Structure 1
Amino acid sequence: MKRRNFIQKGALSGSFLALSGPNLFAMQLNGTSNHQFNLNYAPHLGMFKNLAGDDPIDQLNFMADQGFTAFEDNTMRERSVALQKQMADVMQKRGLQMGVFVAHKIYWTEPNLTSGKEDKRDEFLADIKASIEVAKRVNAKWVTVVPGYVDMTQDINYQTAHVVESLKQAAALLEPHGITMVLEPLNFYNHPGLFLKESPQAYQICKAVNSPSCKILFDVYHQQIQEGNLIPNIDATWDEIAYFQMGDNPGRKEPTTGEINYKNIFKHIYEKGFTGVLGMEHGNSMPGAAGERAVIAAYVSCDDFL
Structure 2
Amino acid sequence: MVIVSLLSALYFFISSNPYKMKRRNFIQKTALSTGALSMAGSLAYPNLSSTKSKPHKFNLKYAPHLGMFKALAGDDPIDQINFMADQGFTAFEDNGMMKRDVAMQNKIGETLAKRGMTMGVFVIDKGGNMKNTLAAGKQEYIDIFLDGCKRAVETAKRVNAKWMTVVPGGFERKLPIGVQDGNVIEALKRGAEILEPHGLTMVLEPLSDSPDLYLQNSDQTYMICKGVDSPACKILFDIYHMQKTEGHLIHNMGLTWDEIAYIQIGDNPGRKEPTTGEINYKNVFKWIYEKGFDGVLGMEHGNSKEGKAGEQAVIDAYKQEDSFL
Give the TM-score band, short-chain normalised: 0.7 to 0.9
Question: Aligned equivalents of 1:46 and 1:128: distance in 2?
Answer: 26
1:191-230 equivalent positions in 2, closer than 5 A? 191-230=210-249
Question: Aligned equivalents of 1:32 and 1:103: distance in 2?
Answer: 37
Deviations 1:65-108 (A, max 9, x none): 00000000000000010000011001000011000000122444
1:123-142 equivalent positions in 2, closer than 5 A? 123-142=144-163
- 2:188 pairs with 1:167: yes
- 2:288 pairs with 1:269: yes
Any unmatched runs of 5+ in structure 2? 1-49
Indicate the structure (1 or 2) with the bigger Cα radius of gyration.
Answer: 2
- 2:108 pairs with 1:90: no
Question: Aligned equivalents of 2:130 and 2:99: distance in 1?
Answer: 21
**Which stretch of structure 1 is more off in the superposition, 32-41 or 245-254?**
32-41
- 2:262 pairs with 1:243: yes
Identity percentage of aligned residues: 62
- Contact 1:31–1:293 (8 Å) recurs in 2: no
1:60 match: 81
* 1:85 partner SS: helix
- 2:67 pairs with 1:46: yes
Question: Aligned equivalents of 1:74 and 1:210: distance in 2?
Answer: 25
**Which stretch of structure 1 is more off in the superposition, 97-106 or 51-60?**
97-106
Aligned match of 1:183 in 204, 212, 216? 204
Q: Report deviation, 1:31.
A: 10
Amino acid at match of 2:301: H
Question: Aligned equivalents of 2:166 and 2:127: distance in 1?
Answer: 8
Question: Aligned equivalents of 2:131 and 2:162: distance in 1?
Answer: 29
- Contact 1:111–1:150 (8 Å) recurs in 2: no
Deviations 1:162-192 (A, max 9, x none): 00000001001111000000000001xx223
Question: Aligned equivalents of 1:171 and 1:82: distance in 2?
Answer: 27
Question: Aligned equivalents of 1:196 and 1:104: distance in 2?
Answer: 17
Amino acid at match of 1:104: D
Shift in alpha-carbon separation, 1:179–1:108, aligned structure 2, 3 A: closer
Question: Aligned equivalents of 1:282 and 1:212: distance in 2?
Answer: 27
Question: Aligned equivalents of 1:120 and 1:30: distance in 2?
Answer: 54
1:254 match: 273
Question: Aligned equivalents of 1:300 and 1:31: distance in 2?
Answer: 18
1:76 match: 97
1:99-178 equivalent positions in 2, closer than 5 A? 99-110=120-131, 112-178=133-199
Question: Aligned equivalents of 1:220 and 1:126: distance in 2?
Answer: 29
Number of residue pairs aligned between Structure 1 and Structure 2? 276
* 1:60 partner SS: helix
1:26 match: none
Task: Name the Cα RMSD after superposition.
Answer: 1.5
Q: Report deviation, 1:279.
A: 0.1
Question: Aligned equivalents of 2:196 and 2:302: distance in 1?
Answer: 33
Question: Aligned equivalents of 1:88 and 1:207: distance in 2?
Answer: 32
- Contact 2:93–2:122 (8 Å) recurs in 1: yes
- Contact 1:31–1:51 (8 Å) recurs in 2: no
Shift in alpha-carbon separation, 1:112–1:156, aligned structure 2, 3 A: same
Question: Aligned equivalents of 1:204 and 1:221: distance in 2?
Answer: 21
- 2:299 pairs with 1:280: yes
Amino acid at match of 2:114: K
- 2:318 pairs with 1:299: yes
* 1:237 partner SS: helix
Deviations 1:185-242 (A, max 9, x none): 001xx22310000000000000000000000000000000000000000000000000
- Contact 2:61–2:297 (8 Å) recurs in 1: yes
Deviations 1:259-292 (A, max 9, x none): 0000000000000000000000000000000000
Normalising by structure 2, we get a TM-score of: 0.83
